[in-house]
Amino acid sequence: MKRYISGAILGMVMAVGVQGAANAEDLKPLTVGFSLDTKESSLETAWVDFLKSEGESQGKTAGFKIEWVINVANADPARQAANIDDLITRGVDIIMARAFDSGAIGTSIKAAQNAGIPFVTFDRGSTSGKPTAHVGGDSYDQAKQTAEAFAAILKKAGIQGKCIELQGMLTDINAVNRSKAWNEVAKETGQYTTIVQVPTNWNPELFLSGLTNALNAHPEANCVFAASDFAFPSIQAALEKAGRWAPTGQPKHMWLATCDLLTAAVKPMEEGYIDVSTTWDAYLQAKEAVRVLIAVAKHEDPGCGPDGCLAKGRVVTPATVKTIPNLWSRDYSK
């Protein structure tokens, strides 16, 4: 009897093994050429890692074995065009590119499409040609999530916010979207008002002088919204100068909401100086990119909106910043 049972178990194990091997062999190869404009920071490293890991997991589920062919243009649009030509010559199945020059990438898009290769722009869109699809971050939703979470935090603390808004560059659509979302939520919730808008041109020196001026002009301000926290040391310097650099829970605390949660903001959030942020999410962008690539490979509609397939950010607070998974600004910081 034991012999029969052992035989049956052995048979089942072998059957599963053979089935598994057959599945691995059944995976259809999908070669994706990825043209990066630069590879100068930890962000690009994180992207590549996330793309590979997501490619493996999502690809397996969809029946693909994704192979990545990656080249880097070293911030040279001519080099990027040549790199993409190389990918076309090599005969990759799909090309994805983060354009160095949105105005110049159109030529490469056309060349790829003439060769019958779908072209997906990543993070930075094209202004000179229509790609098969575009994948990027959703800057409007990012600020909306931050603002809604911030309003909830203020409500819980019983605070009526009088906020200084540190805007980005006014010709940058991301900055415009973030300002729009922030002020729309202000109207919807009534939990805070923007008492002054300070343009920074994404320049840390203007973050410092602008916030210093605003704090001086509006001593009643009790909160700050920064359209990006990449220049957080300048925000910190301005708050220190004004005697308002204190973590949450202390009387001098300035309620702080930001977008992006970049490297410079991770530690201040861990220490309770930043109350809420929404990630500029390298992981979710990579995940969305792989989903779109698979849909394109299957000749399916990836279901993008008018601005492309935009990955949303994740809301992070001091309570979650240490534990939220795949946070590139924390895990890949130098």
Partner 1 sequence: MSGLRLRAIAEFLMRRGFLVVFIIVFLFFSVVTRHFFELDNLLNILSAMAPLAIAAAGLALVVMSGRLDISIGSIAFLSCAIGALLMRANGLSPVLAALIVVGCGALLGAINAFIVVVLRVNSLIATLSTMIAYRGIALQLTDALLVQLPPDVRFIGNARIGPIPVDILLMFLVVILVHLLQSRTVFGRRIMAMGNDISVARRLGLPVDLTGFNTFVLSGVLASLGGILTTIQNGAVSPFLGSGWEFTALAAIVVGGISLLGGRGTIFFSVLPGVFIFEMIRNGLTNLSANPYSYRLVSGVVIFAAMYADALKSGQGLRSRILRSRT
Nearer to partner 1, 195 or 246 (CB): 195
Q: Strand, helix or coil at 170?
A: coil
Q: Which two tokens stand for residue 71?
A: 């080249």
> Which residues from 239-298 bind partner 1, rule CB under 8 A?
240-241, 263-264
> Which residues from 160-199 bind partner 1, rule CB under 8 A?
167, 170, 195-199
Nearer to partner 1, 108 or 329 (CB): 329
CB of 231 vs partner 1, minimal distance in Å: 6
Show the CA angle centred on residue 52, arms to residues 143 and 269, nearest 5°. Answer: 35
304, 267 contact by CB (below 8 A): no
Sheet holding 161-167, edge to edge: 192-199, 161-167, 223-226, 255-260, 276-279, 315-316
Q: Which of 107, 209, 248, 317 binds partner 1 (CB under 8 A)?
A: 209
307/37 Cα distance (integer angstroms): 21
Pick the piece of the chain touching partner 1 (CB under 8 A) from 59-67, 108-116, 232-240, 271-279: 232-240
Nearer to partner 1, 119 or 232 (CB): 232
Nearer to partner 1, 101 or 148 (CB): 101
252/215 Cα distance (integer angstroms): 13
Q: Which two tokens stand for residue 145?
A: 């999530």
284, 294 contact by CB (below 8 A): no
CB of 291 vs partner 1, minimal distance in Å: 29
CA distances from 334 to 42, 264, 321 (A): 8, 11, 17
Nearer to partner 1, 113 or 209 (CB): 209
Residue type, 192: Y
Nearer to partner 1, 45 or 113 (CB): 45
Show the CA angle centred on residue 128, arms to residues 127 and 129, nearest 5°. Answer: 105
Q: Which of 64, 119, 140, 230 binds partner 1 (CB under 8 A)?
A: 230
Nearer to partner 1, 102 or 212 (CB): 212
Of the candidates 95, 97, 57, the one whose C-alpha atom is nearest the C-alpha of residue 77 is 97
Residue 112 binds partner 1 (CB under 8 A)? no
Nearer to partner 1, 30 or 186 (CB): 186
141, 310 contact by CB (below 8 A): yes
CB of 89 vs partner 1, minimal distance in Å: 29
Nearer to partner 1, 152 or 237 (CB): 237
Q: Name 260's bridge partners.
A: 279
118/104 Cα distance (integer angstroms): 18
Q: Which of 36, 109, 149, 231 binds partner 1 (CB under 8 A)?
A: 231
Pick the piece of the chain touching partner 1 (CB under 8 A) from 24-32, 105-113, 230-238, 253-261: 230-238
324/330 Cα distance (integer angstroms): 10
Pick the piece of the chain touching partner 1 (CB under 8 A) from 10-18, 34-42, 46-54, 277-285: 34-42
Q: Which of 216, 270, 271, 303 binds partner 1 (CB under 8 A)?
A: 216
CB of 230 vs partner 1, minimal distance in Å: 7
Residue indicated by tokens 């000749």: 299
The residues binding partner 1 (CB under 8 A) are 38, 40-42, 167, 170, 195-199, 202-205, 208-210, 212-214, 216-219, 230-231, 233-234, 236-237, 240-241, 263-264, 334
